[in-house]
Structure 1
Amino acid sequence: MALGTCTPLQRQQWQDQEDAWLRDTVRRHGWAVQYAAGAPPFAYTVGLWSLGHPELLVYGLDLQASAWVLNQFGDKIRDGERFGPGRPLRLTGWSHRLQLFPFHDGDDPPVLGSAQRYYDRDAGDPVPALQLFWDDAGGRFPWDDGYDLPGGLQPAPRPHTPG
């Protein structure tokens, strides 16, 4: 059943089940990965902020690749590593380079909806997050000339702009 066709009670029951799964997963593993199969697809972590690190978000990958990338970072963060904006980096076992940028989740509804609910945050004070960008086969990022993946696959970074 699509959430748009749910009654308010069904929607609340679905959200309660999702939130219970999320709390249990974060308790057992330190974080969870949420995936949205939209256009473009995206995935993000919930729980890294409790480990003293911004949550992570990646667009344009399938479920398996998204989970692998985010879990690789999660393992490193749980072991004490910290990541932030800056120079490109690599993960062992993946051919792409990555760059991180601040991501401000001020939308309503939020992009990182489960994370905002988990931490009881809202658009006015969203949970800190970093967006991961991955390069194409030629080593180019979406902002580089000659980038050869579809436009919009990795939306531009969304830093906080005080209003």
Structure 2
Amino acid sequence: MADFDGLLRNQDEIIDRVGWAVTAVLPTPDDPGAPFAYTVGLTAHGHPELIIAGLDPLIAQALLGDLAGRVYDTAARFTHGQRVTDLLAGYDAVILDGPGTEDLHPGTAYARYGRDRVRLQQIVWPDKHARFPWENGYVYPPQVQPLIGRP
């Protein structure tokens, strides 16, 4: 519990300074799921938290930071199924609304704000052929990029 309390205190400092924090969740031998990362702090300003799965934590943090900055600094709003054309070099990303899942569980956001207050939007990235997980021919198996919804 002390580690979790320390994590929340560290998040408090970052949220006070930046407006949000990014939390990365990495696979372990006991929980070998896909890595994912999510924001914490946007809920306090009436925005959904952002979540992304299946990427290196540093890349995930950069992408979340870009979009969270747009939300926090300019009140940008993303809608379910929206294509974001200026996030990934040469590719679109798609925004999905949905609830947290067993695979994509924003635990510290839930602990901070309560599960009933936290809304989620997932940033979904395509394969090298610009196909998304719900499209035929997507080259990665579903466990690489679990989803919170479908467009």
TM-score of the superposition, structure 2-length normalised? 0.86
| Distance in 2 (alpha carbons) for counterparts of 1:151 and 1:101 | 16
Query: Which stretches in structure 2 are left out of the alignment for 5+ residues?
Result: 28-32
Map 1:62-77 to 2 at 5 A. Answer: 62-77=56-71
**Greater Cα shift, 94-103 or 35-44:** 94-103
1:127 matched to 2:118? The reply is yes
Query: How far is the alpha carbon of 1:27 from its aligned partner?
Result: 0.8
* Native 8 Å contact 2:101 2:148 kept in 1: no
Aligned position for 2:2: 13
Pairs within 5 Å for 1:21-100: 21-38=10-27, 39-78=33-72, 79-92=74-87, 94-100=89-95
Matched residue pairs, number?
A: 144
Check whether the contact 2:104–2:148 (CA below 8 A) recurs between aligned residues.
no
Greater Rg, structure 1 or structure 2? 1
Secondary structure in 1 aligned to 2:50?
strand
Q: Is the 8 A contact 1:53 1:77 kept in 2?
A: yes
Q: Name the CA distance, whole Å, in 2 between partners of 1:102 and 1:96.
A: 20
Deviation at 1:93, TM superposition (A): 5.7
Q: Which amino acid aligns with 2:65?
A: N
Distance 1:112 1:62 in 2: 17
Distance 1:17 1:80 in 2: 30
> Which structure has the highest strand share of the two?
2
Partner Cα distance (2:90, 2:35) in 1? 20
Q: What residue is the counterpart of 2:130 in the other structure?
A: 139
% identity of equivalent residues = 30
- Name the CA distance, whole Å, in 2 between partners of 1:50 and 1:26: 10
Displacement of 1:151: 2.9
Distance of 2:40 and 2:97 partners within structure 1: 16
* RMSD of equivalent CA atoms: 2.1
Question: Which residue does 1:5 correspond to in 2?
Answer: none
CA distance in 1, matches of 2:93, 2:109: 22
TM-score normalised to structure 1 length: 0.80
Is 43-52 or 88-97 further displaced after alignment?
88-97
